[in-house]
């Protein structure tokens, strides 16, 4: 988050918040997402645990801030890919966008666990934290609508069921890749390389002739 334009005190507070979140992510990478400890975060920052509560009242508040940060970064990476997807073929554009989405998830697995898997008992993101994720879903719906308008997909592709199927099959590939080959790159992952085939299956499911005899 940019601190430009903030007064010195507010800027310093925001910088400390970002430092706390950075340390939390580092600890979650080594100790596990659900094993985050406020005392460990404070110790790595060289502050007393009570001082940490001036910035985050609870561990769940840190998770919430990390969820929002991750959802925002993923949304922005997806939007950047959408901006580059200028092919005449909607399928090629969708493959560019979803590839960027999955690449980011593989390169940021701690955030991915927080965003897509219930690894923290009792955690639910706040509406504010969840807002960027909703933006991403709307971006997906709009992008699929462009394929519908181009005559490459049936209108049902943008229905709630269509969106659920699209996110389920892509998340399934990610889950398999992270579970079985967490250190493999996007280019060499045994499961994630099936992404074009999965997208083709979606396009076949929602072909423009869907429901016609």
Whether residue 42 contacts residue 49, with contact meaning beta carbons closer than 8 Å, is answered with: yes
Mean pLDDT value of segment 97-104: 93
pLDDT digits (tens, 9 = 90+) for 36-80: 999 999 999 998 888 899 999 999 999 999 999 999 999 999 999
Confidence (pTM)? 0.89
Mean pLDDT value of segment 70-91: 91
pLDDT digits (tens, 9 = 90+) for 112-125: 999 998 889 889 99
User: Does residue 2 register a pLDDT over 70?
Assistant: no
Q: Where in the chain is the domain with CATH 1.10.10.60?
A: 1-57
Q: Where in the chain is the domain with CATH 1.10.357.10?
A: 66-205
User: Does residue 132 register a pLDDT over 70?
Assistant: yes
CATH code that applies to domain 66-205: 1.10.357.10
Three-state secondary structure string covering the chain: CCCCCCCHHHHHHHHHHHHHHHHHHHHHHHHCHHHCCHHHHHHHHCCCHHHHCCCCCCHHHHHHHHHHHHHHHHHHHHHHHHHHCCCCCHHHHHHHHHHHHHHHHHHCHHHHHHHHCCCCCCCCCCHHHHHHHHHHHHHHHHHHHHHHHCCCCCHHHHCHHHHHHHHHHHHHHHHHHHHHCCCCCCCCCCCHHHHHHHHHHHHHHCCCCCCCC
User: Does residue 3 register a pLDDT over 60?
Assistant: no
CATH code that applies to domain 1-57: 1.10.10.60
């Amino acid at each position: 988050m940019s601190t430009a334009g903030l007064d010195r005190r507010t800027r310093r507070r925001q910088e400390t918040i970002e430092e706390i979140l950075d340390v939390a992510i580092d600890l979650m990478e080594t100790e596990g997402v659900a094993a985050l400890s406020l005392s460990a975060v404070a110790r790595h920052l060289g502050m007393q645990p009570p001082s940490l509560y001036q910035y985050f009242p609870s561990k769940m508040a840190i998770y919430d801030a990390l969820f929002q940060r991750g959802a925002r970064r993923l949304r922005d990476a997806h939007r950047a890919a959408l901006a580059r997807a200028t092919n005449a073929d909607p399928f090629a554009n969708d493959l560019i966008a979803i590839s960027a989405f999955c690449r980011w998830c593989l390169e940021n697995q701690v955030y991915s666990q927080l965003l897509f898997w219930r690894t923290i008992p009792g955690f639910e993101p706040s509406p504010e934290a969840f807002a960027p994720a909703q933006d991403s879903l709307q971006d997906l719906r709009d992008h699929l609508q462009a394929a519908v308008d181009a005559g490459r997909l049936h209108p049902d592709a943008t229905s709630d069921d269509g969106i659920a199927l699209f996110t389920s099959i892509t998340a399934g590939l990610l889950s398999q890749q992270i579970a079985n080959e967490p250190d493999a790159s996007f280019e060499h992952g045994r499961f994630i390389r099936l992404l074009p085939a999965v997208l083709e299956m979606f396009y076949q499911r929602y072909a423009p002739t869907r429901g016609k005899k």
